[in-house]
């Protein structure tokens, strides 16, 4: 089961899973051509694929999704990819925008994992792969809530991994850097200059590194050498220096928030 599967990293995760022969339940917002993607994967790889349209920020829809899936399907892998972010001054951000980041990035991942956990534990081997970000490793001015939400995902994943040790359920956290996805995202990355492109990878490459890492038993996956260096620098650079540097970089990107 993959959330946020209609575009970007989620779509590439679906393609890579299908290429490896895995049957899929793909989840995304309505009107995202999700059924078309399922049909393409079925034809190309001979798998089974089901499309489920759902707004994961809606509590009722989230619960209905889990109940429907559990009543009809056997799920041994959950990829919590759905997420939203952007760059804007906090005081200029609408409360709806801020609330959506919290509901999607934090609550949806937490609740969906909890609802599917009994099913996952019923399998001899199962996987929860949560998509965080290198932003999880430090605060970012003009993104504020986004890195905080990804820090939550990182901490949640590492804690749950320890709790579930010995159950057969492996919990993995993926922390990608900037991702080449749609034109809007590429435009925002380019506005950041050289530092914004530091660690830039395609969604296809990240999906392969993530699934390879999970299969090898890694619990934390930082894809790409540059992002591994970024994590190291974040740990050792004085926070005041890093905040000043990132504020200068991200100030260039301030625009209407988007994925």
Residue 83 and residue 105 in contact, taking contact as beta carbons nearer than 8 Å? yes
Cβ contacts of 57 within 8 Å, gap of 6 or more: 100, 103, 104, 107, 108
Residue 153 and residue 132 in contact, taking contact as beta carbons nearer than 8 Å? yes
Catalytic residue among 4, 41, 141, 146: 146
Other beta carbons within 10 angstroms of residue 208's beta carbon come to: 18
Distance CA 96, CA 35 (A): 29
Quickly tell me which residue has 């050792």 as its tokens. Answer: 236
Distance CA 16, CA 12 (A): 6
Torsion of CA 98, 100, 106, 110, to 10 degrees: 160
Annotated catalytic, 146? yes
* Cβ density class 209-245: b for 16+ within 10 Å, e for less: bbbebbeeebeebbbbebbeebbeebeeeeeeebeee
Query: In which element (H, E) is residue 26 found?
Result: strand 24-28
Residues acting as catalytic residues: 146
């Amino acid at each position: 089961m993959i959330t946020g599967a209609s575009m970007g990293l989620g779509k590439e995760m679906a393609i890579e899973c299908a290429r490896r022969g895995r049957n899929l339940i793909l989840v995304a917002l309505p009107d995202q051509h999700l059924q078309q993607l399922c049909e393409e994967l079925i034809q190309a790889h001979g798998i089974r694929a089901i499309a489920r349209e759902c707004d994961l920020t809606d509590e009722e829809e989230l619960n209905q999704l889990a109940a429907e899936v559990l009543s009809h399907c056997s799920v041994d892998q959950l990829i919590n990819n759905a997420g939203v972010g952007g760059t804007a001054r906090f005081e200029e951000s609408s409360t709806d925008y801020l609330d959506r980041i919290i509901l999607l990035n934090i609550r949806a991942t937490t609740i969906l994992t909890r609802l599917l956990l009994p099913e996952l534990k019923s399998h001899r081997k199962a996987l929860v792969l949560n998509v965080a970000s290198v932003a999880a490793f430090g605060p970012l001015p003009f993104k504020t809530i986004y890195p905080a939400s990804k820090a939550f995902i990182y901490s949640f994943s590492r804690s749950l991994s320890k709790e579930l040790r010995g159950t057969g359920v492996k919990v993995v956290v993926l922390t990608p850097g900037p991702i080449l996805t749609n034109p809007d995202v590429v435009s925002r990355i380019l506005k950041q200059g050289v530092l914004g492109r530091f660690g830039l990878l395609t969604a296809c490459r990240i999906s392969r590194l993530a699934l390879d890492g999970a299969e090898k038993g890694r619990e934390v996956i930082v894809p790409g050498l540059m992002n591994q260096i970024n994590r190291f620098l974040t740990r050792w650079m004085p926070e005041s220096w890093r905040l000043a540097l990132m504020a200068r970089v991200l100030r260039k990107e301030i625009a209407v928030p988007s994925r």
